[in-house]
Structure 1
Amino acid sequence: MAAEPPALGVGIGWRPEIDLTVERLPGVDFVEVIAENVNPARLPESLRVLRARGVPVIPHGVGLGIGGAESPDPRRLAHLAACARALDAPLVSEHLAFVRAGGMEAGHLLPVPRTRAALSVVAENVRRAQEALPVPLALENVAALFGWPEDEMTEAAFLGELVEMTGVGLLIDVANLYTNQVNLGLSATAALDGLPLSELAYVHVAGGHSHQGVWHDTHTAHVPQDVLDILSELCARVDPPGVLLEWDDDYPSDGALEGELDRIRGAMARV
Structure 2
Amino acid sequence: MSTVTRTVPALGDLGLGWRREIAGVIADLRPGFCEVIAESVPIRRTRAVPDPLLTDLRDRGVPLVPHGVALSLGGVDELEPDRVHRLTACAEAFGAPLVSEHIAFVRAGGIEAGHLLPVPRTREALDVLVRNITRMQDALPVPLAVENIAAFLRWPEDEYSEGQFLAELLERTGALLVLDVANVYANARNRGLDPLGELARLPVDRIAYSHVAGGSEGGGRYHDTHTDPVNRGVLELVTALRERAEVPFMLERDGRYPPAAELFDELDAIAGAAGCAPITDDARKVWS
TM category, shorter: over 0.9
- 1:6 aligned partner: 10
Task: Give the ranges of 4+ consecutive aligned residues of structure 1 lying more than 6 Å apart after TM superposition.
Answer: none
- Distance (whole Å) between structure 1 residues aligned to residue 106 and residue 48 of structure 2: 26
**Deviation of residue 186 (structure 1)?**
4.2
Structure 2 matches for 1:83-162, cutoff 5 A? Answer: 83-162=90-169
Q: In the alignment, is residue 265 of structure 1 matched against residue 267 of structure 2? A: no
- 2:38 aligned partner: 35
**Deviation of residue 236 (structure 1)?**
1.3
Q: In structure 2, which of residues 71, 78, 88 is the aligned counterpart of residue 71 of structure 1? A: 78
Aligned length: 267
The SS at the match of 2:101 is strand
- Distance (whole Å) between structure 2 residues aligned to residue 65 and residue 187 of structure 1: 29
The SS at the match of 1:197 is coil
220-229 vs 178-187, which deviates more? 178-187
- 2:281 aligned partner: none
163-172 vs 8-17, which deviates more? 8-17
What amino acid sits opposite 2:17 in the alignment?
G
The SS at the match of 2:208 is strand
Q: Residues 208 and 221 of structure 1 are in contact (CA less than 8 Å); yes or no, is this contact kept in structure 2?
A: yes
The SS at the match of 2:15 is strand
- Distance (whole Å) between structure 2 residues aligned to residue 181 and residue 232 of structure 1: 17
The SS at the match of 2:66 is strand
RMSD (Å), alpha carbons: 1.5
**CA shift in 2, pair 1:268/1:249, >3 Å:** same
What amino acid sits opposite 2:33 in the alignment?
F
- Distance (whole Å) between structure 1 residues aligned to residue 263 and residue 135 of structure 2: 37
- 1:251 aligned partner: 257
The SS at the match of 2:183 is helix
- 1:46 aligned partner: 53
- Distance (whole Å) between structure 1 residues aligned to residue 262 and residue 13 of structure 2: 19
Q: In structure 1, which of residues 18, 21, 24 is the aligned counterpart of residue 22 of structure 2? A: 18
Structure 1 unmatched runs, 5+: none
Q: Residues 175 and 217 of structure 1 are in contact (CA less than 8 Å); yes or no, is this contact kept in structure 2?
A: yes
- Distance (whole Å) between structure 1 residues aligned to residue 128 and residue 262 of structure 2: 43
**Deviation of residue 160 (structure 1)?**
0.4
**Deviation of residue 24 (structure 1)?**
1.1
Output the TM-score relative to the length of structure 1. 0.95
Once the two structures are aligned, what percentage of the paired residues are identical? Answer: 51
- 1:172 aligned partner: 179
Structure 2 unmatched runs, 5+: 1-5, 277-288
- Distance (whole Å) between structure 2 residues aligned to residue 35 and residue 261 of structure 1: 23
- 2:210 aligned partner: 203
- Distance (whole Å) between structure 1 residues aligned to residue 69 and residue 226 of structure 2: 15
- 2:3 aligned partner: none
